[in-house]
Structure 1
């Protein structure tokens, strides 16, 4: 299947989707104990209308953040471009591909693909559908929850190895 992709760690590609990564520490950023409480209903940071304007801008997803058991959210709002690689994006599948160190969840517009967007294992690549019908100008929020692991004895730090937005044309003559 023909495809083209944007590297969401590259400034030119970020400009193509009018995107800027932001990050914050904690399962629920800004809450005491990083929002870690028993019987939690979940983190609002996954939702597309969550206000992340006070979060730090993240110029380098691969930069290590924190040590020990930690949770970091990375968020970006993207705007679907008119073209990629000189081709119209209409009639494609739009996919987000990433590898989060160590464990990660990928939320698209506040929704989690329970088969592919959840923790897949230690440093396992993840690939989720952003939209099966991308339209130029449409906006989508990607929220990544990164967790340092192994959870019972975490080491190293949290970071995102790569983040790409891919477009796959269904018509092989694209």
Structure 2
């Protein structure tokens, strides 16, 4: 969750328009005298879109693998004998231009209804799917949504004053190639 939140804040600091949209969404849903709660999240589509897009651009686990031991598998016209190693390239899937035009750009609006282009439901699955999906998905999403909402409620986030660009590198998990430094400016009247 901390990795995804760092990337989300990095991109929000560089796109003040999206950050302001999120802030206005928060103000419309959460009264100024309280913190955001789990009950508020369904009413904040931009908040959810920012987390989804961040996970698409920076899947925490860029690849993983599974061996099917039980039996041969046929997919389309292809036979995969039992004991075949399948490597799932989450990063490549979620950067496929077929489903995500301008895949390197962080564009949260592509997850909002009526915006962006439709994408295949399995084109970005940062938590996996089915019986092997991440068991902590719901708590991780809740933590990311609430933390991001609270941070944006309390602060305007600005990019590193030194103008340092950060890119991702794969080290078992996808991480920043250098520290993500941000400037946090307190919002007047934040709880």
Given the two structures, how large is their TM-score scaled by the length of structure 2?
A: 0.24
Determine which structure has the larger strand proportion and give its number. 1
Given the two structures, how large is their TM-score scaled by the length of structure 1?
A: 0.26
Determine which structure has the larger helix proportion and give its number. 2
